[in-house]
Amino acid sequence: MAACLPSARKSRNRIWILFLILAGCSIGHAQNKVVTIIQKSVQANNRDWDADPQFDYTETDEDEQGTKTYQVTTILGTPYERLVQINGKPLTAEQEAEQKSKFEKMLAERRAESSKKRAERISKFKADRRRDHIMLAQLTKAFDFRLQGEQVVDGHKVYVLKATPREGYQPPNRDSRVLTGMDGTLWIDKSTFQWVKVEAHVIRPVSIEGVMAKVEPGTQFAIEKAPVEGNIWLTTHYAMTASAKILSVLPHHSQEDDTYSNYHRRHSSNEKSSDDSKRGDSQHSSQ
């Protein structure tokens, strides 16, 4: 079920599935203008997808308990999340010491790992991204689009497109099944074809684990993007309300609201390379 009800903090790349979920359409049945808009938006999103791992950022997650803010930095090939604030306030001395200890333990483990172990860790991270992105190939068969008009959203002139499930679509795997019960709306920037906002809703129950689990209506996603560098746009806000049934009886509900900010490209000199880590530069412990 996790593949269909993604947790942004645990697997940030799954957020991009939600962008790409609505990028699929029945090209042969769409109007020419809509086809062009979708094709160009997919190209823009693919460019963003490729650039995404090159950026570090700040992430704030909100739930019923409050907020937690993390600095997310790639260290020796894969991201590391370091807690820096709780409910908008700096950590106490005790909490900071705990986070420092966790960071130093992680850094020591990654410095000491064998070449094989490091390759396996990085390979797993890349495989997770590839698995998510492979969905795009299937999504091009899953939806039809209709141009509803034009609006201004966050200062951007946008096309408004409605996405509906394509009749007769047959999902080939478990992850694709949720597409059969979803519809959504895209707000696409007219000049860049970037996705300013996306909303998706489950409109009918979808079994994702046979009789074991079912995604229910009430499940919805909202995502916003903004320019971070040149023609690269990345996620700035992600909200999810998930409704499901386990064993088709037991209800399961969850909510998530995550904000992303302070994107900055990670230059090669800033990443903790193997040679840098061996030197034990004290700068690493402060990041």
pLDDT tens per residue, range 172-190: 777 677 778 888 899 999 9
pLDDT of residue 212: 59
Q: Flag whether 226 is in a domain.
A: yes
Q: Flag whether 279 is in a domain.
A: no
Cα→Cα distances 18→112, 173, 186, 276, Å: 37, 17, 11, 37
Q: Flag whether 252 is in a domain.
A: yes
Beta strand pairing status for 78-86 and 89-90? Answer: antiparallel
Q: How many C-beta atoms surround the C-beta of residue 219 within 10 A?
A: 24
DSSP 8-state assignment for residue 173: S
Which residues have a Cβ under 8 Å from the Cβ of 269 and sit 6 or more positions away? none
pLDDT tens per residue, range 45-96: 889 989 999 999 999 999 888 999 999 999 999 999 999 999 999 999 999 9
* Pair 74, 259: CB distance under 8 Å: no
Q: Flag whether 221 is in a domain.
A: yes
Which residues have a Cβ under 8 Å from the Cβ of 287 and sit 6 or more positions away? 71, 73
pLDDT of residue 248: 54
Q: Flag whether 4 is in a domain.
A: no
pLDDT tops 80 at residue 217:
yes
Which residues have a Cβ under 8 Å from the Cβ of 173 and sit 6 or more positions away? 138
- Alpha-carbon gap, residue 242 to 31, rounded angstroms: 33
The pTM of this model reads 0.79
Q: Where are the beta strands (DSSP E) in the chain?
A: 55-63, 66-75, 78-86, 89-90, 143-153, 156-165, 182-189, 195-202, 206-207, 213-215, 220-229, 232-246, 250-265
pLDDT of residue 25: 45
Q: How confident is the model at residue 119 (pLDDT cuts 50, 70, 90)?
A: very high
Q: Flag whether 269 is in a domain.
A: no
Q: Flag whether 1 is in a domain.
A: no
pLDDT tops 70 at residue 6:
no
Residue with the larger pLDDT of the pair 196 and 166:
196
Alpha carbon 12 to its chain's center: 4
Mean pLDDT of 214-226: 85
Q: Flag whether 280 is in a domain.
A: no
- Cα dihedral 204/209/254/196 (nearest 10): -60
* Pair 244, 219: CB distance under 8 Å: yes
Count: domains in the chain: 1
pLDDT of residue 134: 62
Range of the domain at 164: 14-263
pLDDT tens per residue, range 130-173: 876 766 555 557 788 899 999 999 999 999 999 898 888 888 77
pLDDT tops 60 at residue 218:
yes
